[in-house]
């Protein structure tokens, strides 16, 4: 696998293409954005922030990094990588465009790194990870190889993707907040949106411990997003065994359940020495028309 620099960035202030020169991204109007020493660029202007420090906290990012690097969600990463790479119909060699992929809500970059590792030797990829949390993007950039970086890492918002229109082959939305209008705008015709979403039994045993009762499952049948047609859906389901308070705490800390659970529920989880729980997710593919 070879990586190609992702160049299709757009100015978050006026939407014009950004061009890289001397470690600075600039648009024709003169707006400029420096690449940080850690290797990422911040394309989230203050007017697009809803808080001073949006997105996941430093502690949440660290918990997710430990949990994912331990391989607990490897089957999910494998399913996503296989789905993306199935759309490589022919080898990407010199003289052809690389397969471009955006992870919209990339966290600390685990799924893009797994995709890069799974790609065949002849494939050429141009990868970009974007997250609204500066702590997540910083962690992703720090784990990248500075000699041969895997991806372009960007602080930005799904609501205003700093990406040129019609430039992407695929977009990943991993347990995130989909903005279908933006995903449709940045994908090429025939491009693929891959959504990973929790199934009805996802982490059921953990939820049974931290909540007094489980709420009825809400239907995920929200209809076909505008600009897309349904392509396929795959289920990833397996049993996960976590041993030790730290692994269990990391799982809880990287999910919304940390804030939704009561103090009593969090205390019950903290008292566990072992947790056997179900991983149940759907990988849904939408085709950009």
- pLDDT tens digits along 174-225: 998 899 999 999 999 999 999 999 999 999 999 999 999 998 877 666 689 9
pLDDT at 146: 64
Torsion of CA 237, 285, 257, 181, to 10 degrees: 180
3 state SS of 266: helix
Residue 90 confidence (pLDDT) above 50: no
DSSP-H helix ranges across the chain: 58-69, 74-85, 110-118, 134-143, 180-186, 204-210, 245-253, 257-260, 263-270
Tell me the pLDDT tens digit for each residue of 257-282: 998 999 999 999 999 999 999 999 99
> DSSP class of residue 117?
H
Length in residues, the chain? 289
Could you give the C-alpha distances from 217 to 199, 201, 202, 221, 279, in angstroms and in order?
9, 9, 11, 12, 16
pLDDT at 216: 81
pLDDT at 185: 98
Instruction: Give the chain's radius of gyration (CA, Å).
Output: 19
Tell me the pLDDT tens digit for each residue of 125-169: 999 999 999 999 999 999 987 656 779 999 999 999 999 999 999
pLDDT at 165: 97
pLDDT at 220: 61
* Mean pLDDT value of segment 102-123: 93
CA distance 201 to 205: 8
Kindly report each contact of residues 17-20 with a partner whose C-beta sits within 8 Å and lies 24 or more positions away, as own/partner: 17/164, 18/162
Percentage of residues in the chain having pLDDT higher than 90: 81
pLDDT at 94: 43
Question: Are the C-beta atoms of residues 81 and 236 closer than 8 Å to each other?
Answer: no
Question: If you average pLDDT over every residue of the chain, what do you get?
Answer: 92
pLDDT at 217: 74
Provide the pLDDT confidence category of residue 48 given band limits of 50, 70 and 90.
Answer: confident
pLDDT at 92: 42
* Mean pLDDT value of segment 76-93: 78
């Amino acid at each position: 696998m070879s990586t190609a620099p992702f160049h299709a960035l757009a100015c978050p202030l006026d939407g014009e293409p950004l061009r890289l020169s001397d470690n600075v991204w600039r648009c024709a109007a003169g707006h400029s954005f420096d690449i940080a020493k850690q290797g990422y660029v911040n394309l989230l202007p203050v007017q697009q922030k809803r808080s001073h420090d949006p997105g996941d906290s430093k502690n949440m990012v660290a918990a997710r990094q430990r949990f994912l690097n331990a391989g607990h969600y490897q089957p999910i990463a494998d399913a996503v990588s296989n789905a993306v790479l199935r759309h490589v119909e022919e080898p990407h060699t010199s003289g052809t465009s690389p397969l471009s992929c955006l992870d919209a809500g990339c966290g600390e970059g685990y799924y893009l790194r797994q995709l890069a590792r799974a790609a065949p030797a002849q494939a050429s990829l141009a990868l970009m990870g974007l997250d609204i949390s500066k702590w997540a993007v910083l962690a992703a950039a720090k784990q990248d190889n500075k000699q041969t970086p895997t991806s372009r890492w960007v602080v930005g918002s799904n609501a205003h993707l700093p990406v040129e229109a019609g430039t992407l082959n695929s977009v990943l939305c991993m347990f995130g907040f989909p903005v279908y209008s933006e995903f449709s705008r940045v994908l090429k015709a025939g491009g693929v949106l891959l959504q990973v979403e929790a199934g009805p039994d996802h982490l059921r045993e953990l939820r049974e411990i931290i909540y007094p009762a489980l709420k009825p499952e809400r239907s995920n049948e929200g209809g076909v997003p505008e600009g897309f047609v349904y392509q396929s859906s795959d289920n990833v389901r397996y049993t996960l065994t976590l041993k030790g308070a730290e692994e269990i705490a990391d799982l809880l800390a990287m999910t919304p359940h940390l804030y939704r659970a009561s103090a009593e529920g969090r205390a019950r989880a903290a008292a566990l020495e072992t947790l056997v729980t179900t991983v149940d997710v759907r990988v849904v593919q939408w085709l950009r028309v």
